[in-house]
Amino acid sequence: MNKIIFGGGFDPIHLGHINMAQLASRHFDADVIFVPSPISIWKEESAPIKDKVEMIKLSIEGDKRFSIDLFEVNSGKNHNYSIDTIKYFKNKYPTDQLFYLVGGDQVNEFHRWKDALELSKLAKVIYMARPDYDLSKENIEKFNMLKVPGRMVDVSASEIRSFQSLKIDEKVMKYIEDNELYYIKKIKSYLGDVRYNHSKGVANLAFAIAKKHRIRNKDLYYVSGFLHDIGKESRSLMDIMNKHFKKYLDLPSFSFHQFVGSYIAKADFAIRNRSILKAIEFHATGNEKMDKMGRVIYAADKIDPNRDYDSQYMIDAMMEDIDGGFKLILSENKKFLEENRKNIDNRLTKSCFNYYLN
């Protein structure tokens, strides 16, 4: 039987890891054993090992060819050499063909590894190449490395930890949220409990709407939803407005947090996606010509299930049709504001109502 040993920090495990494992498993007709390392080099950004293990389990459940082995975690060492890990599996599965799966960056550094030649004789070293990434032909030939064919999903664990993208299994996303790992801790440092719970509700609703309509990059809707009110409680709100958004100082003060939120998302969370930033920037007032993400975030903010009114019929409308649901919510919001004598006489809100409702 063939077995692929796949070690790493998995901090967190993401769709790129799963893609590599699936392609390698199919090509070499092998089971894949995930072997998490106990200590991450990321220190403060890292998740506890017990959480990393649970996230791996969530990502691989349901695939009979995937399993997890805690040899390195239980070794009692902060750092484990790959040669020791391979010897452990060679002893555990003496009659099986072992493969050792590595990434392109590891291919180029492989000659520096402890007992690299012996390792390559105990297990066939297999690798996946990133697009436009130059690999060491010398190492590939010297250690008889084999390429895993297929297209690699380009995912960055650091971008996940910093909340720039979330190419992770939905169950892992929920686990991170429930256990307040990575970016959740940072978000909570900006928001009080009530505002945080609202933002969480908007994030999950926006994600559900995007998923229902099979929108590509639905994870970014979750990011946008979670950050939409990130400027709401900023102590620097007026300083940021005066320095960066003078052209909007004529608007009602309730709108200021949307501009400050966009600024914080870019400055503090390194968000560069234009749709995310624009969705945050106009989620309270609305605006004309909003893109799909902008309309979804505007709507999700107004119909968050955590609000103190029944919004289910509007949620259902968004699930049925984004354009129609958005117009319904816009109309209902306009009626609510007028009935409660709220000021809607500002240029952004007026342009939004005129563009979509007239």
Would 182 be classed as within a structural domain? no
Average pLDDT over residues 327-351: 90
| pLDDT for the residue numbered 76 | 82
Residues paired with 7 in a beta bridge: 35
For residue 22, which amino acid is it?
A: Q
pLDDT in tens, 263-279: 999 999 999 999 999 99
Q: Specify the DSSP class assigned to residue 252.
A: -
| pLDDT for the residue numbered 325 | 98
Q: Which of 96, 131, 147 is the last residue of a domain?
A: 147
Residues 112 and 197 reside in one and the same domain: no
Tokens (6 digits) for 15: 């769709």
CATH for 90: 3.40.50.620
Would 331 be classed as within a structural domain? yes
Q: Does pLDDT of 250 surpass 90?
A: yes
d(CA 25, CA 4): 7
Q: Specify the DSSP class assigned to residue 153.
A: P
Share of the chain above pLDDT 70, in %: 99
Share of the chain above pLDDT 90, in %: 86
Q: Which of 254, 259, 219 is nearest to 239 (CA)?
A: 259
CB 205 within 8 A of CB 315: yes
Residues 339 and 213 reside in one and the same domain: yes
Residues paired with 2 in a beta bridge: 30, 97
pLDDT in tens, 215-230: 999 999 999 999 999 9
Give me the chain's average pLDDT, please. 94
- Note the Cα 208 to chain centre separation in Å: 15
Would 157 be classed as within a structural domain? no
pLDDT in tens, 290-330: 999 999 999 999 999 988 889 999 999 999 999 999 999 99
Cα angle 170, 172, 173; round to 5: 65
| pLDDT for the residue numbered 147 | 95
More confident residue, 246 or 132: 246
Q: Which of 147, 180, 207 is the last residue of a domain?
A: 147
| pLDDT for the residue numbered 123 | 98
Would 352 be classed as within a structural domain? yes
Residues 51 and 142 reside in one and the same domain: yes
What are the CA-CA distances from residue 220 to residues 163, 211, 292 (Å)? 9, 11, 12
Q: Does pLDDT of 141 surpass 90?
A: yes
Residues 61 and 123 reside in one and the same domain: yes
130 — pLDDT class (breaks 50, 70, 90): confident
- Note the Cα 192 to chain centre separation in Å: 23
79 — pLDDT class (breaks 50, 70, 90): confident
Would 338 be classed as within a structural domain? yes
Residues 210 and 131 reside in one and the same domain: no
Residues 133 and 201 reside in one and the same domain: no
| pLDDT for the residue numbered 44 | 56
Would 156 be classed as within a structural domain? no
Residues 314 and 221 reside in one and the same domain: yes
Residues 113 and 251 reside in one and the same domain: no
Residues 130 and 272 reside in one and the same domain: no
Helix axes 218-227, 274-281, angle to 10 degrees: 40
Residues 92 and 199 reside in one and the same domain: no
Residues 209 and 263 reside in one and the same domain: yes
Residues 196 and 140 reside in one and the same domain: no
CATH for 209: 1.10.3210.10
Q: Does pLDDT of 350 surpass 80?
A: yes
- List all residues 6 or more positions away from 84 whose beta carbon is below 8 Å from its beta carbon: 75
A 10 A CB-CB count for 250 gives 8
Q: Which of 165, 201, 206, 167 is nearest to 293 (CA)?
A: 206
Average pLDDT over residues 275-285: 98
Q: What is the domain range of residue 134?
A: 2-147
Would 114 be classed as within a structural domain? yes
The dihedrals phi and psi of 100, each to the nearest 5 degrees, come to -120, 115
| pLDDT for the residue numbered 43 | 53
Q: Which of 147, 163, 179 is the last residue of a domain?
A: 147
pLDDT in tens, 102-124: 988 899 999 999 999 999 999 99
d(CA 249, CA 234): 16
Structurally, the chain folds into a number of domains equal to 2
Would 180 be classed as within a structural domain? no
For residue 333, which amino acid is it?
A: N
pLDDT in tens, 32-53: 999 999 876 555 578 999 999 9
